[in-house]
Each structure stands twice: as C-alpha cells, then as structure tokens.
Amino acid sequence: MNPYDRLRRFRPARLAVITFVVAAFVGIVAGPASAATGCTYNAATQTVAFTLDDNGILTVGTGADNGKILWDNDTSLPASQGQCGAATVTNTDTVNVTGDGDPNTFVMDETGGLFAPGNTSEASGSSEIEFSVDLAAGTDIYQLNGQNVADSIVVGNNSSAGQLAVNIDGDDDPDLTSTNTNTENVTVNANSGDDSVSFQGGSGTGAAYTAPGAGVITANGGNNNDTIKPSLSANVDSWNGDSGLDTIDGSALGVNEVFNPSATQCDQDLAGDGLGTPATLTYTTAAGGADAMTTFENFTGGTAKDRYCGSNVAGANTFTAGTGEDAATYEDNTTAITADLSTSPGTVVSTSAGTDTVTGLEDVYGTGFQTPSSTPSSTTSSTATPTWTWCPTPRSPAPTTSTCRPIT
C-alpha cells in the first residue's frame, strides 16, 4: 500500500476527533443559554405554566381576545406574544409561575378583568383561577395591576414573612400565593375606581404583610378616592394616593402614628407618641419606620397615639383620631388658625391650610400668630379633656417648652 494512501485514509477520522474536541471546548466556555420566558397550557389538568427569563406579564384579553389569557415577555401591555396556548378564564384552574433564579418581575394584570371564574366552581367564596408563584433566587418583584373599577385588594403573609398571599376579589381565600420567601418587592397599582388596598392581612391571606430582607412595598391608588392600609413592614415603603381624595388608614395597627403630609417640620409631640420629628411627606410608626407618603388628603388613626401635621397643607383634609391621646399640629403654618373643637367633628381653619375636619382630638398645637378663638370641649374626647397649646413667639427661632402655654 502506498504510505500516502494510508495517510489520506486516516485524515477524516482525525479531523472528526479534532472537531469534537473544539466543539466541546466551545460549549464549556460559552455555557448553555438560559431558557426564554414562555407560556404553555395543559388542557388535561387545566393548568397554565408560565416560566420567566427576567420579566413576564399575564393579562386577560378584551375585545376580539375577550376571556383569553394573554402573555408577554416584558412588563407592559399590549401582550404581544398572544394567547397562552388555548388558555382562557373559563378553562383554567391553576397558573404556576416559575422564575429562573435571576432577578425576575412578574406582572399580574387585571385591567382587562379578573382571572375568573376558572374551570371548576369553588365550594365557597368567589370562583377564580389560583396562582402559585415561585420566583426563585434573585431580587424579585411581584406587580399587580388592578381593574379600572373599584377593587378590594388584600395582601398578607401566607405563612411566614415574605411568603406572599394576595386576595383580589374580596372573598375569603387568596387568589395568589408564593411557595417561598423569594418575592422581595411588591407593587400594587390599583388604577381607576374607589379602591381599597390593604397590607394588613386577613380575608384568607394570613397575617399582615412584611417584606423579606431589604424588600419594599409600593402602593399606587390611581384615579378616584382610594384607601391604603399600610402594614408595619420595616423597610422604607411608598404610599401614593394619586388623584382623588385618598386616605391612609392605620386604625387597625394599634401603634403610635404620625401623618405628615406637609413640607415642613413637625416636632411638637403633645400626645407623647415618641416618634420625634418625622421627615416631610411621611407616614411614621416605630416598627415600620418612616415611609414615603404623597398626595393623601385624609388620615385615620387607631387606638394608640396619633399625630397629624397640618401646616400649610392646602385643601379640605380630614384627620380622624382613634381612642388614644391624639394631637394635630400647625406649628409652621404661615397664617393664623382658628380651631373649634366644641362640636364633633371639629374644624381647624386657616388661609394657608384651608378647612380641616378633625375628630377625636385631645391636643391642638397652633402657630405663633394668635390664641385659638374658642374653648375646647371635653365632649370631643373619650379619654381626656382636650388641651390646646400655642406659642406666642414666632417659629424662628423654634420655641421651647417654656415659651408655650396651655389654654384652658
């Protein structure tokens, strides 16, 4: 045999081995590509499987897509990926949402309607599709976009801190639960309608919601008149009333609270709530810290000590105190106030702050412009005779306790 023939005969095999080695090396260096966000429907089990690569949104279709479960691989509408298989709100019982271990954002969008009634009627409460969420490792976000009608949304801890549970339709069981504590951040956009958004648990969601780790809670009321009920989650959460006449309601918390919708200091602690000088535009409790608070007009306190900071807060605002010793302060108001607690509710009137309606107050701290014009009445309080305090000196420099005197 010609030796060159032998060389030619073995050359293809040697090249194949080299090609295999190079391919294996390239595979090791590049690593496998992560799976893309995807959505599948299993008709036999009436189940949607939604797997996330970074972000994803599920929504209920309208118009030509009425009742279809639509999806997309980002967090905004329209859901351009289309229908999730053949899934609709009437042939689906369960939606399983699974993250990929990276930071994920899952948006549950109900602007087109509720994920209801589902395939199987429930024995009690309202029938709906049940969501089970496992966003895995990474810093994750769950976002709920409410309907454009009046919603009643309750967020709680399913069984432990950060194990999220959400009730969306006002019945006695949650619509969404997380299987672990990997959902760090929660955002609720209530949208249009007179909405109630509570993070205080109940309605089948367990205890009040507290975000795990450094997670934060954000609630946006949207249009119309909304009520936000905060929890005592320890991080700096954000409560936004948006347009309409909106209310922060801490009546069920049973802790000292300070509502400061003003842009000025609020250091006069007549009721002894012990919360110091809260930052401007904040809702403050000892356990929950100082949360950001914007565009709220009404404030409801609870059974402990409440303080309302009304200096130069324009508009007809309402402060409803609870059964503890409660105070309203107008220490930095730029015009004189006229406080009248002889009726319940009473009023505090000034040019710069408008007419505020107050109920259940024991203490009012005025400006350095004048003595209040009427005598407080003990009938306005269930715990003590009200005390008015005013400072006859201007706010600059700030008055000390010795410069203020009670009016009886």
Identify how many contiguous H helices and E strands the chain contains and give both numbers.
1, 32
The pTM for the full model equals: 0.83
Element (H, E) at 278: none
Peptide bond into 212 cis (omega under 30): no
Mean pLDDT of 354-366: 90
Instruction: Give domain limits for the chain.
Output: 37-230, 245-408
Tell me what pLDDT residue 368 has: 66
Mean pLDDT of 143-168: 91
Q: What is the C-alpha to C-alpha distance for residues 78 and 273, in angstroms, rounded to an integer?
A: 48
Residue 243 has pLDDT above 50, yes or no: yes
Tell me the percentage of the chain whose pLDDT exceeds 90. 63
Q: What is the C-alpha to C-alpha distance for residues 49 and 51, in angstroms, rounded to an integer?
A: 6
Q: What is the pLDDT of residues 38-92, one digit of tens each?
A: 999 999 999 999 999 989 999 999 999 999 999 999 999 999 999 999 999 999 9
Q: What is the C-alpha to C-alpha distance for residues 112 and 93, in angstroms, rounded to an integer?
A: 18
Token pair in block for residue 308: 């309302």
Q: Which parts of 297-353 are beta strand (E)?
A: 298-300, 306-309, 318-320, 327-329, 337-340, 346-350
Q: What is the pLDDT of residues 339-358, one digit of tens each?
A: 888 888 999 998 888 999 99
Q: What is the C-alpha to C-alpha distance for residues 266 and 395, in angstroms, rounded to an integer?
A: 12
Instruction: List, in sequence order, every residue forming a beta bridge with 389; answer none if it has no partner.
Output: 365, 406
Q: What is the C-alpha to C-alpha distance for residues 257 and 368, in angstroms, rounded to an integer?
A: 25
Tell me what pLDDT residue 287 has: 92
Mean pLDDT, the chain, as a whole number? Answer: 83
**94-98 and 152-157 beta bridge pairing:** unpaired
Residue 407 has pLDDT above 60, yes or no: no
Q: What is the C-alpha to C-alpha distance for residues 256 and 274, in angstroms, rounded to an integer?
A: 8
Mean pLDDT of 143-161: 91
Mean pLDDT of 193-215: 94
Closest CA to 390 of 402, 405, 374, 373: 405
CB-based contact 110:146 (threshold 8 Å):
yes
Residue 29 has pLDDT above 60, yes or no: no
